[in-house]
Every structure is written in C-alpha cells, then in structure tokens.
Amino acid sequence: MDISVIIPFYNTGEYIHDTIKSIQDYKGKYSYEVILIDDGSDDINSIETLNNIIKQHKFKLIRQANKGANAARNAGCKVASGDFLFFLDSDNKMMSAYWDDAMQIFEANPNVGVVYSKPIFFGDQSRPGFETDEFDIDKILNGNYIDMCSMVRTEAWKSVEGFDENKELNRLQDWEFWLNLFKHGWQFHYLSQPHFEYRIRKDSIGGKSLVTPDNRPEWYIRRKHVDLLFNRFKKIQTENTDLYDKLQATENIIKTKNQQLKQKEHLISAIKHSDFIKIYLQIRNAFSKNKIVL
C-alpha cells in the first residue's frame, strides 16, 4: 500500500461526504486506503452518516472514547499499511494533484519526511485564514503555519513515536509534531500552489483567534522543545557577534582613513604656509616678468 489516509472524525457528519468525494476524485497511480477514526462522536446524525459511509465503502473504521485529535491520528496510524500517511480533517477537501506531487518529492529525496501545501479557504469567509510559507525553523518556533493536511513518511511518524497525546495539548498538536520531526532530522518540502481546501467554520480552530486565555499548550511545547529555542538563541548570539566584529573592523578602517586624510591636510597646510612656497612664488613671478620659463 502506498498511502494511508487518516481521517479523525468527531460530529462532522455534515461535511464528511465532501471529504470522501475529494479522495475518490483521485485518479492517479498510487494505491491508497482510508482509515476513519470516530473520536467519541455523540451527535446521532453524524454517527448515522458515518455508519452509512462504512457500509458503502471498504474503509477501515476505529471507534474510541473521546481522547482528542492526536490520539485519534495515532490510532489510525497504528493500523495503517501505507508507506506514507496523508492526514485529512473530516471537514476539509484534498485536491487530486496533491498525492502525485507529494510522492514525486518523497521519491526524489529520502530525507524529506513531510510535504505540505498552501490551502484554499472556503466556508465562513468572514473569518480570516492563515498564511503558509517555506519551512524555516526560526520562523516556525514563533508559531505554527503548517496545516495538518500534509503527507508524512510513515518512517518519520514512527521515528518520533507518533503524536504527543499529553492532555495539555488540546490545541497546537500539529505544531508540536512538526518541531519533533525537525529535531529528529527530517526535512520539510512546501508546495507553494494550493493542494487542499480548508473549510473555515465558526466553531473551528481555523476560524478562531489563537490568542486565548489558556496558554498551557504553547508553554508545554516550549518547555518540551527548549533545546530548539536555546539553539536558536545561540545562533542569533553568534550572528550578532559576527556582525559586531564586522562593524568594528569597518570602524577601524574608517578611523585609519580619516587619520590619513588629516595627515595629508596637515602636510598641505604646512606647505602652503611655509617660506619655501613664498620664495618659490616670488622667483616664479620674477621670471615671468622677464618672460623666462622655469
């Protein structure tokens, strides 16, 4: 199996059909399986919708008590048979080119552990989306900008022992996962063209401000990855030291040049005011009157 599609599900029966259809629209060469993880849904309509989908399609279904998105993803990954894991939330939609473009990157570079993409936003457009960009560890340490709708090498997921299921991570789970993968030496590749559709809902994290009174998830992540923050500080300190040394060297050169200019100015001034110049000018004037050329 090439790709295992991991879909956590929690009371999203209203949107799941769009998600499934976007997967079925894929007509490429790579084989895939779909794994749905019902994370303790309690909405009757959503449960019924999910049951009907399982009857219609040969998808794997895992049911568990509500443990959160990370636990749901781990549960799906543990039964996955694909060499690559594609994470898709149950209210979003993938574009058919995503897998082929991502697999080309993976096949060309075995050190790439994650391929992620720019999204197209739809749904509640009155709420802002988020910006994505090329991977930069200094930038992502300030805050996450990579959505979970990404393809991850199964080997990479195993190398970090999956997602952190700590209860303090009730949000920002993807951010912690990316930092952990980076620490284990995996590279990231950014597809700058949109490859999935992100639904903005009034009750979704993507439609809410990330500035909340509860900062426990952020502090948990920063404590766990304090070594990355420390390394970044050392890098900035080294860069500032190098910059200071260059500025100091430039300042010394300027001082030397200024001293040389002052010495020249003093020499010219001394010559102008010396008796030698006065005598020379008198002799030259005398010869000029007699039309004698010096």
3-state DSSP call for residue 189? strand
- The predicted-structure confidence for 214-252, as pLDDT tens digits, reads as follows 688 898 998 899 888 877 776 666 666 666 666 677 777
| Count of Cβ atoms closer than 10 Å to residue 18 Cβ | 14
Domain positions in the chain: 3-224, 233-289
pLDDT of amino acid 221: 92
Distance, in Å, from the CA atom of 39 to the CA atom of 148, rounded to the nearest integer, reads 17
pTM: 0.77
pLDDT of amino acid 187: 98
Dihedral angle, C-alpha 99, 100, 102, 106, nearest 10 ° = 120
Instruction: Collect all residues with Cβ–Cβ distance below 8 Å to 37 and sequence separation of at least 6.
Output: 6, 7, 8, 9, 61, 62, 64, 72, 73, 75, 76
Give the pLDDT band of residue 40 (cuts 50, 70, 90): very high
Strand 112-123 vs strand 60-64: parallel, antiparallel, or unpaired? unpaired
DSSP 28-43: SS--EEEEEEEE----
Give the pLDDT band of residue 205 (cuts 50, 70, 90): very low
DSSP 214-254: --HHHHHHHHHTHHHHHHHHHHHHHHHHHHHHHHHHHHHHH
DSSP 136-152: -HHHHTT-----S--EE
- The predicted-structure confidence for 246-292, as pLDDT tens digits, reads as follows 667 777 787 777 777 777 777 777 666 666 666 666 766 766 666 55
Give the pLDDT band of residue 210 (cuts 50, 70, 90): very low
As its CATH architecture, domain 3-224 has Alpha-Beta Complex (3.90)
CA atoms within 13 A on the CB side of 292: 7
